[in-house]
Amino acid sequence: MKLRQTLLGIALSFSTIGVIATSVDNQAYQEIYDQQKQQEVKVKQALDSEFISTKDEETLENMLVSFDKAKNKDNRESLNGIISQEKKVLDKVETNLVSEESNVAKEEHATLSGDVKKLIKKLDEPFILKADKQEAKELETQLTKVKEAKKVKPVREVADAAKTLSLKIHGNQKEAKELSLALKTINEESAKLSEKKYVFESDKKSLEKDRKENTQFFKDADDLAVIKKRKSDSDSLLSSVSDKRDKTETDFKDNEEKSRDLATSIEKLVADGKLTTEEKTGLTNHLNQLNDSLALKDYQPGDLKTNYDGQKSDYDSFLKNSNKKIAEEKAQAEKEAKEQAQKAQEEARRAAENSQKESSVSSDGWHQAPAGYKYLKVTSGLTYGQVKIPGNFSLISEAEASNYRPGHGNGSAKQ
* Contact (Cβ atoms closer than 8 angstroms) between residue 74 and residue 82: yes
Angle, helices 201-215 vs 224-272, to 10°: value is: 170
Please give the residue that has the higher pLDDT: either 373 or 28.
Answer: 373
Q: For 30-48, what is each residue's pLDDT tens digit?
A: 877 878 888 889 999 999 8
- Sign, CA dihedral 153-158-162-165, equals positive
Q: Which residues make beta-bridge pairs with 397? A: 373
* C-alpha span between 354 and 342 (Å, rounded): 18
**pLDDT the model gives residue 35:** 80
Q: What residues contact 254, with CB distance under 8 A and at least 6 apart?
A: 305
Q: Mean pLDDT throughout 300-308?
A: 94
Label residue 1 by pLDDT band (50, 70, 90). Answer: very low
Please give the residue that has the higher pLDDT: either 81 or 312.
Answer: 312
* Contact (Cβ atoms closer than 8 angstroms) between residue 119 and residue 166: yes
Q: For 71-104, what is each residue's pLDDT tens digit?
A: 767 777 888 888 888 899 999 999 999 999 999 9
* C-alpha span between 254 and 320 (Å, rounded): 26
pTM beyond 0.95: the answer is: no
Element housing 144 (H / E): helix 130-145
Q: Mean pLDDT throughout 164-186?
A: 98
Q: For 210-225, what is each residue's pLDDT tens digit?
A: 999 999 999 999 999 9
What is the phi/psi pair of residue 377, to 5°? -90, 105
Poorest-confidence range of 233-247, 356-370, 379-393? Answer: 356-370
pLDDT at 379 over 60: yes
Poorest-confidence range of 12-16, 103-107, 320-324? Answer: 12-16
**pLDDT the model gives residue 3:** 38
pLDDT at 61 over 80: yes
pLDDT at 6 over 90: no
H helix runs in 49-129, sequence order: 54-70, 76-122
**pLDDT the model gives residue 359:** 56
pLDDT at 323 over 60: yes
* C-alpha span between 255 and 302 (Å, rounded): 9
Average pLDDT, the chain: 88
* Contact (Cβ atoms closer than 8 angstroms) between residue 39 and residue 86: yes
Q: Mean pLDDT throughout 56-75?
A: 81
**pLDDT the model gives residue 13:** 41
Element housing 198 (H / E): none
* C-alpha span between 146 and 175 (Å, rounded): 32
**pLDDT the model gives residue 23:** 60
pLDDT at 7 over 60: no
**pLDDT the model gives residue 24:** 59
Please give the residue that has the higher pLDDT: either 35 or 384.
Answer: 384
**pLDDT the model gives residue 174:** 98
* Contact (Cβ atoms closer than 8 angstroms) between residue 162 and residue 109: no
**pLDDT the model gives residue 153:** 96
**pLDDT the model gives residue 66:** 80
The gap from C-alpha 102 to its chain's centroid, in whole angstroms, comes to 60
* DSSP letter assigned to residue 408: P
Q: What residues contact 236, with CB distance under 8 A and at least 6 apart?
A: none
The sheet that has 413-414: what strands, in order across it?
Answer: 360-361, 367-368, 386-387, 413-414
Q: Mean pLDDT throughout 66-71?
A: 76
Phi-psi region of 198 (alpha: psi -120 to 50; beta: other; left: phi over 0): left
% residues pLDDT > 90 (the chain): 71
Please give the residue that has the higher pLDDT: either 68 or 256.
Answer: 256
* C-alpha span between 213 and 187 (Å, rounded): 10
Angle at 218 between CA 214 and CA 221, to 5 degrees: 95
Q: Mean pLDDT throughout 303-323?
A: 93
What is the phi/psi pair of residue 48, to 5°? -80, -10
Q: Mean pLDDT throughout 340-362?
A: 66
Q: Mean pLDDT throughout 234-254?
A: 97
pLDDT at 233 over 50: yes
Angle at 397 between CA 393 and CA 402, to 5 degrees: 95
